[in-house]
Amino acid sequence: MSLGTLYLIPVPLAENAAAKTFTPYLVNTINHINEYIVENSKTARKFLKEAGLTIPQSDLIIHDYGKHNRDADNNIFFTGLLAGKDVGLMSEAGCPGIADPGSDIVALAHQKGIKVVPLVGPSSILLAIMASGFNGQSFTFHGYLPIDKVQRATKIKELENMSEKYNQTQLFIETPFRNNPILEEILRSCKSQTKLCIACNITADDEFIQTKTILQWRKQVPDLHKKPVIYLLFKG
């Protein structure tokens, strides 16, 4: 018996961004399959409805790999795939596997010889690089920086030095309610002519993406509290 295919299905980054997210091929795909591995079943069902799902929601098989289930045996998610059924993988926002625990599911699929097909969709990391004006040929995403203030300041200076040494864009994120403190630390730790791009609420109605020098940002500091932000440093 042939194996099924694991489709990696992107979801919107923001409210009211469905039209910017779902391609015709994606819509065709979700109406071809009825089994999903997701981070959150409630939001996954919402995204599928927004995308144009015609299959009754009651007919869907939803496997939850959210944070409370990640210590469980992931092999249970593969029964359908191993029996020849196609299955979709969805994260909470953006592309599965990119800064997302879905990468563990993808890795296991490869181990089992299952075909993996990524669908086109929004990645906040790539969209931020595109809009920054920084080096898009060499970049590194660091995820979250240390919470400890001293360690965080040291890390920011290290990233600034790496950017200058390697002519490389440095990207990182923070929990939304810590955005203002980390921005203050960036402006305090970095050199005046280092460039910082703030990419906030990407694809949302109030999207905010601007690149300025640290000196320019110090003169007009935005309020980023409780907003999804990607920070990009570049000192080429």
Residue 212: per-residue pLDDT: 98
Residues with Cβ within 8 Å of residue 99, at least 6 apart in sequence = 125, 141, 143, 173
* Same domain flag for 128 and 113: no
Could you tell me the CATH number of the domain that includes residue 57? 3.40.1010.10
* Same domain flag for 70 and 87: yes
The backbone torsions φ and ψ at residue 8, rounded to the nearest 5 degrees and listed phi first, read -95, 110
Is 207's pLDDT higher than 80?
A: yes
Q: What is the pLDDT of residues 168-205, one digit of tens each?
A: 999 999 999 999 999 999 999 999 999 999 999 999 99
Is 141's pLDDT higher than 90?
A: yes
* Same domain flag for 34 and 108: yes
* Best CA proximity match to 6, nearest among 35, 27, 26: 35
* Same domain flag for 102 and 152: no
* Same domain flag for 40 and 99: yes
Residue 154: per-residue pLDDT: 98
Q: How confident is the model at residue 153 (pLDDT cuts 50, 70, 90)?
A: very high
End-of-domain residue from the set 80, 95, 118: 118
Q: What is the pLDDT of residues 12-67, one digit of tens each?
A: 999 999 999 999 999 999 999 999 999 999 999 999 999 999 999 999 999 998 77
Residue 94 belongs to domain spanning: 5-118
Q: What is the pLDDT of residues 68-117, one digit of tens each?
A: 666 667 888 999 999 999 999 999 989 999 999 899 999 999 999 999 99
Average the pLDDT over 145-159 and give the result.
97
